[in-house]
Amino acid sequence: MLKEYCISDRTFRKISQLVYNSIGIKLKKNKKAMLKSRLIGRLIELDLENFDQYYKFLINSKEEFDNLINFVTTNVTSFFREDHHFDYLISKVLPELEANKDTKKIRCWSAGCSSGEEAYSIAIVLSEYFDGQDWDFKILATDINKEVLYKACEGVYSKEELKGVSEAIINKYFKLIKKNNKVYFKIRKNLREKIVFKKVNLKPGSYYPIKSKLDFIFCRNVFIYFDHHTRKKISNKFYKLLREGGYLFLGNSDTMFAIDSFDKKWRVANITTYQKLD
Ligand SMILES: C[S@@+](CC[C@H](N)C(=O)[O-])C[C@H]1O[C@@H](n2cnc3c(N)ncnc32)[C@H](O)[C@@H]1O
């Protein structure tokens, strides 16, 4: 007979407190069923009797904690998602950088990059825009979830994952490969080299490996998972990392959560796009 696993409110609270303390994501009570269904497989694999045993195992295993993070993060993404941001990059941000920068260098960050589609979309836009010119651009792309970062580093996508990307762009920036007798598309080396993928926790208090000022930051559809306090702290950190006039792109669903912490330091430049004021 199939075993019935139950997670008590107390154990759920203890697990969600651990998650909040380490990555800043608050698992509300209505996420209890989701957490339970995502973790039952682990209980079976680890041959554990109940969620209390799982909690005890969790607090003693760094590896299991990484697994838990992979389970609780939502990684939905796609190439050129919320394309108005890319249109704004092309029509406003890049011409501004081209006209005003002393050096032909662009440094930017895809924070919460998931499986890499956002970072590669930025790289494609920059490559197309500066085609044939000697501009040097680098993208830092980071996430907390090791599993999606692994996929991002590989840069291999299925035809379905490239839905909406034009044939011309696919032919120029991807090469066909075969894996398990199926056809996939792998990012070409010259584009892959523009991006450094790293595991970085955005939670306030964590180290962000950024040495020079950034021209723009994409942090889209990540703030939605944080509480007000966390969003405020992170947006202040972003502010310090951007050069004057630099841009912060949030996701469509993030705006209403962030705007009240933005005070007079930011200008609303476009849809969910904010410019750092002096
Ligand atoms: C919904 S995805 C957004 C992906 C991409 N930015 C987009 O808009 O398509 C949110 C990503 O944020 C990451 N994330 C959540 N909490 C994080 C944290 N504390 N530090 C770094 N990344 C985090 C998740 O792992 C997930 O991949």
Residue ranges per structural domain of the chain: 9-72, 84-155+190-276
Average pLDDT over residues 246-254: 93
Q: Which CATH architecture has domain 9-72?
A: Orthogonal Bundle (1.10)
* Confidence (pLDDT) at 256: 57
* Residue 200 C-alpha from the chain's centroid: 10
* Confidence (pLDDT) at 257: 55
Distance (angstroms) between ligand 1 centre and the Cα of 78 equals: 13
Q: Summarize pLDDT for 233-249 with one digit per residue, the tens.
A: 999 999 999 999 999 99
pTM above threshold 0.85: yes
Given its phi and psi angles, is residue 175 left (phi above 0), alpha (psi -120 to 50 degrees) or beta?
A: beta
Domain 84-155+190-276 in CATH 3.40.50.150:
yes
* Confidence (pLDDT) at 263: 65
The amino acid sitting at 233 is: K
Strands (E) in the chain, as ranges, are 105-111, 136-143, 156-157, 174-179, 182-187, 195-199, 214-219, 242-250, 266-270, 273-276
CB 112 less than 6 A from any atom of ligand 1: yes
Q: Are 106 and 126 in contact (CB under 8 A)?
A: yes
Q: Is 71 exposed, middle or buried (0-12, 13-18, 19+ CB in 10 A)?
A: middle
Mean pLDDT over each residue of the chain, to the nearest integer: 94
Q: Which of 114, 121, 200 to mutate to test the pocket of ligand 1 (most atoms within 8 A of CB)?
A: 114
CB 115 less than 6 A from any atom of ligand 1: no
pLDDT(259) > 70: no
Q: Summarize pLDDT for 132-142 with one digit per residue, the tens.
A: 999 999 999 99
pLDDT(23) > 90: yes
Percent of all residues in the chain with a pLDDT value above 90, rounded to a whole number: 89
pLDDT(13) > 70: yes
